[in-house]
Chains A and B, each alone.
Chain A
Amino acid sequence: MKKLLTLCLMAFTTSALADYIFVVPQKPGGGTSQWAQIVATQLEPFLGENITIKHIPGARDIPGFNKFHNSLRTSNKIIMVSNGGNGVSFLQEKVDYDYRDYDSIGLMNLNIIAAKRIGENMDYPKFSAGSGKVPEAWAMALLICGPGLTMNEYLACFKEHVTWVNGMSNSERRLAFKRGELNGTRENPAAYKKHVETDENAEIWFHHGILQADGSHADDPNHPGFQLEILFEERWDVEPSGEFYDAYKLVKSFRDGMQKALWVNKGNPNTFLLRNALHQMSLDPDAIAAIEKKVGKYEWKIGDEGNAQVDTLMSFITPKALINLIHFNKEALGLASVYKEKLIE
């Protein structure tokens, strides 16, 4: 009983004395929530102050980020934790938040890996749908249909070849893949290790590569030779290019290039302090090991590097790429995507 009381007291005092707040747009237990919890725990000693997690859940993780944008960001102690899904929603949904209004404290540039069932004909993939899988849909269309097609030809080719299965949760998708009802799937690096590498009937199909400062994508050293661009060239004897490829680059970069990120309002006086603490944390092998255990071994972009990454991402947004993205998403994937003119401004 004494221990219980102590635990309760500690929980209460931790909450009462909290100095910084991580706003997480999910319920406790979600992937970003877990990441935020781990980072907060590792960051606290370097920051010298407590961090508490405030969950603001809602559909597609949007309401929490909107709330940060509309009311919370003016507080100097509030830090937004976002994920790759927020990046995709930023491109194609009516959201209030806008990355151009924030300073990056740090972000993790991850890679998403697609897997297939061994021995399957991947010219006819059966793949779980959802807005989080939009980059995979574009990658599949490129890889299967080849170079030089018009937008409508890509659309027709995708519909002919890909069985796009709606309504699957992550767990249902994983199980359906294990059972062979789906022949393709995709995972983040940590989940890939857990769900694909342990499955004797599964192997890597392709990955999207890692976004570089100059806007190119490099091969993932964890899975060399399977970057989409490399596989495309091997199959079709030319590098991928053109309008369709530009739109693919746009959507994959906004998802994977900001898979996990920390933001504060522009001009927040604590920005330097937070960046410095995160930098110190990134030099600590134990702290980094704890984070890598969750997300895999990928680099942090801290402070100005994070802001530069946002600038790079924004440079991918061209009217044509955005129009093509929305058109394909609506016609081929059935998504209610909207064209946002203000992104071009």
Chain B
Amino acid sequence: MILALLLGTLYGLIIGLIPAAGATTGLIILFGLMSYFSDPYLGVIFCMAVVAASTTGDTYSGILLGIPGANSAAATMVDGHPLAQQGKATYALTAAITTSTVNGLLWGTLTFALLPWYTKLMMIFGIPEMWAFVMLALVCVGFVSNKFWIRSLIAIGIGLFLGMIGTNPVTNADRWTFGWEYLGAGIQIMPMVAGLFAFPEILDGLKKRDATTTKHNTSGQTLDGIKAVWKYKWDAIRGGAIGAFIGFLPGLGGAMGDWMAYGSTVAANPKEEFGKGNIRGVIGSEGANNSQKATSMIPTVLFGIPGASFAAVLLALFMTLGFELGTPDLAYDMRFFDSLTFGFMWATVLVGIICITFNRYISMISYVRYRYYFPALVVFITWACAQYTGGWEDYAILILCSVLGVFCKEYKYSRPALLMAFILAAKVEALTIQMTTLYTIETLMTRPIFIILIITIIALATLSIKKNKLEYA
């Protein structure tokens, strides 16, 4: 049991450290190994440890390199990477990991202890509410992350266009694929993340021919990071609650939770400057990181309906272990629930301890010149992106996305907005179709949560246009 936990934690941490990889990639690779678990419950512990550890681990490349470890860690790097450039990598990392760990434990406890109680709550949120949440996420990332809001709108437009390449949900025919069969299933998420963020940063690093920072002053940063979490505990708690809520809603989660948490932190602190190394930005977004992973398990376990992309893979992995999530039989299998809880919670604790202990050593990479480690980075990122088909098409898409990323960075078109729109494009289209098919204006007006969300969207967009000074692109 302990061995499964340790191996899962170590493997998850390594996967989390690879830019553009993340929990989903890490889990996909495991399919061939599941049959080697003599006791399937050990497989459950292993998988949950991978989820918890990779989620925490993906913070590193965001803060240290300015490259999100997974799409969900993009918000953290907006303020985290500038801190690393100021020689405060250990400070930022410790604050991020502490927030992530505490929220993981808090929401993990609430999730696994109260699992059967969530069923009725989930039924309250219908298609209109999901649509409004998606719109809120786009507003958060589009208007909050960049003061050039017109360019953000253009970036959102490009992201939506790219995200809608693939199959038309109505006609079920290929759309905008230019006759290229590979594009029929759409552009994959990993090359988009890597292309938008990884390669522009790598090129930037090579151009500067320098390390992320030259300021060698790590003393006291670990303690300062922990103290910062306590000082800004409300940002951490708010971020955690937002992430937990988004994770709870099936099919959302991931990047959306982090950006909404970041957006709420910016909105709650209008007098502060963000995007240039504000620790509250790191704490706010990281709050959502592990909490949304924990609550994503609610629809996955209760209904067999995946709460996020990693949960869909997890569902299939558990199936190969003989556990069919969402079935009543499993509800009585206490050993299964114990294994879920044990794997997630202890891996969260373990990876938190490992990371905080070794942060000051790991963050030394920010003092190393880019040219010494960029080849390894390129190899790892390319490997992660070629996990889809392994064919030349995967590499071609990565190159095209990288060109787009370099362009957006150069001309300050919000890359987070583009990525978020790309991720949510299918949801935006599908939910819009569903809502307009099943509801009328009159029936929508009878849904109070929907109305509140629409008002919030309008208010947030208006305030952000007037007051936002962030320049991150």
Contacts and interface: CB of A to CB of B under 8 A. Distances in A.
Interface stretch (B15-23, B133-141, B226-234, B432-440): B432-440
Given A33-B316, A34-B316, A167-B433, A336 B250 contact: no
Contacts of B172: 60, 130-131, 335-336
Nearest to A174: B305
A179 B167 contact: no
A32 to B, nearest CB: 11
Given A29-B312, A56-B389, A198-B327, A178 B123 contact: yes
A28 B388 CA distance: 10
Q: Which interface residue of A53, A93, A126, A175 has the most chain B CB atoms within 10 A?
A: A175
A159 interface: no
B118 to A, nearest CB: 13
Given A4-B7, A29-B31, A10 B127 contact: no
A29 B318 CA distance: 10
B438 A175 contact: no
B388 to A, nearest CB: 7
Given A29-B316, A29-B317, A194 B327 contact: yes
B330 to A, nearest CB: 10
Interface residues of B, number: 55
B306 A168 contact: no
B430 interface: yes
Contact of B313 (A29, A59, A126, A168): A29
B185 A3 contact: no
B254 to A, nearest CB: 15
Interface in B137-189: 166-174, 181-182, 184-186
A179 B126 contact: yes
Nearest to A182: B438
Interface in A114-133: 126, 129-131
Contacts of B168: 336
Contacts of B437: 163-166
B455 interface: no
B3 A167 contact: no
Contact of B31 (A37, A62, A164): A37
Contacts of A41: 35
Interface in A67-98: 93
B326 A195 contact: yes
A294 interface: yes
B434 A28 contact: no
Given A3-B3, A57-B389, A174-B303, A29 B182 contact: no
Given A10-B36, A181-B126, A62 B184 contact: yes
Interface in A195-224: 195, 198
Interface string A230-272: 0000000000000000000000000000000000000000000
Contacts of B326: 194-195, 198
A283 interface: no
B28 A28 contact: yes
Nearest to A4: B7
Q: Which interface residue of A11, A56, A167 has the most chain B CB atoms within 10 A?
A: A167
Nearest to A134: B172
Contact of A194 (B32, B304, B317, B320): B304
Nearest to B429: A167
A3 B7 contact: yes
A193 interface: yes
Contact of A166 (B32, B122, B433): B433
Of all A-B residue pairs in the complex, the 5 with the closest CB atoms, nearest first, are A59-B184, A167-B430, A29-B316, A336-B173, A167-B169
11 contacts: A3-B7, A28-B313, A33-B316, A53-B31, A59-B185, A60-B172, A168-B430, A172-B250, A172-B251, A174-B305, A198-B327
Interface of B: 3, 7, 11, 28, 31-33, 35-36, 122-123, 126-127, 166-174, 181-182, 184-186, 250-251, 299, 303-306, 312-313, 315-317, 319-320, 322, 324, 326-328, 388-389, 429-431, 433-434, 437-438
